[in-house]
Amino acid sequence: MKENIKIAIIGLGYVGLPLARLFATKYSVVGFDINKERISELIKGIDTTLEIETDILKSVLQNEPSNKLGLYCTSDIKDIAACNYYIITVPTPVDKNNKPDLTPLIKSSETVGKVLKKGDIVIYESTVYPGATEEVCIPILEKTSGLIFNNHFFAGYSPERINPGDKEHTVEKIKKVTSGSTPEIGIKVNDLYASVIIAGTHLAPSIKVAEAAKVIENSQRDINIAFVNELAKIFNILQIDTQAVLEAAATKWNFLPFKPGLVGGHCIGVDPYYLAQKAQEVGYHPEIILAGRKMNDSMGPYVASEVIKLCVKNDIPIKNAKVLVLGITFKENCPDVRNTRVVDVIQNLKEYGTEVTVFDPWANPDEVKKEYRIETLRNMPQNKYDAIVLAVAHHEFLTIDFTKYLNKGGIIYDVKGVLKCEVQGKL
């Protein structure tokens, strides 16, 4: 343990908590979050995001702030005042018009600014467009603290690479990009992460380079998925099995194994808009990035329309047709519902006049209702349906006997292409 390092993690969600737990194995760490209910749960060793198991979380928890290694969770700003490294891991969403919403980043910068001292280092992990750290966040830190950047305090940027629900690629096993506001600070930031990240680190030459690297990682994935989504639409018209085509093409060593689907989540469905916004600010209209976003954003309505077409083909009356949607999280085996595009499927099905029931054993019904005004069930309903839409490939869904839940002539639409049973529609 290094006695002179005390770390504050600002934001204890899917990114912040795993990072705080990891650093707490070697340093004194204070985890700060404005959500008091979240803090209350964490103090008891309960992580509702399911990223950290209870016994592992309890093994690093402390009952009070101290200079000993371990993690103390709090919503009181006074508890982070003694820290000298502040790592900000708050979400960076987009608004209803797909414009970057930096509100959480701005407010967390104001919070840190209130306790910032000479010599402190503030590191941002939240995904942003290139330049946001130095153009938006640093001025807030200066104004709130009264200190001068790169004189009294310093900054770094190390983009998060957390994959929610992934128990194999955990935070310490993913190579970390790091950067600092000066060459010396870059080394300090890099050394800090290198002390706990077993996969190693990559020190970028500047904060802007690190910001850009993060935002293009997910933009690249978004564009590749958009390509196979377009292929799925084409092959559907040609009555060719998209999955079979992709399997055949994947036999070539350099074919990229992307699959069609609904693209949501906290990164891939959001990050391209951050890069596009910055490009437009400097006078460049990004055609490929926005085209990819347009294609992927169209997949919810497309899936709904395909389900309706199959119902019509099977002589199922559309008005009041009973539809069961399996899954509402943005990915399988994970409770994360942030920016899930399954809601697009549900809303479009309802617009056709169908009665939609949503079953997801992973999602928190209260969270879904608050975020999307959609009622969800955590237990499989014992009814029969005219159509079942597998929207998320939770492992619980893969062994369901669908014949028990379908009316005569009913259809199964497999968005993820994972079911072994006979289906009438899939991407």
Residues noted as catalytic = 267
- Residue 219's nearest CA partner among 170, 257, 187, 263 is 263
The answer to whether residues 153 and 147 touch, using CB atoms and an 8 Å cutoff, is yes
Q: Enumerate residues 6+ apart whose C-beta is below 8 A from 7.
A: 23, 27, 28, 29, 30, 83, 85, 86, 87
Residue 10: its H or E element: strand 6-10
- Residue 10's nearest CA partner among 94, 58, 79, 66 is 79
The answer to whether residues 13 and 91 touch, using CB atoms and an 8 Å cutoff, is yes
Phi and psi, residue 262, nearest 5°: -90, 125
The answer to whether residues 319 and 353 touch, using CB atoms and an 8 Å cutoff, is yes
Residue 414 burial (CB count, 10 A): 22
Length, in residues, of the chain: 427
389: region left, alpha or beta (phi > 0 left; psi from -120 to 50 alpha): beta
Position of tokens 């990004």? 286
Per the DSSP assignment, residues forming a β-bridge with 71 are 29, 61
Residue 99: its H or E element: none
Under DSSP, is residue 180 helix (H, G, I), strand (E, B) or coil? strand
Q: Please list, residue by residue across 362-393, b when 16 or more beta carbons sit within 10 angstroms of its beta carbon and e when fewer do.
A: bbbeeebeeebebebeeeeeeeebbbbbbbbb
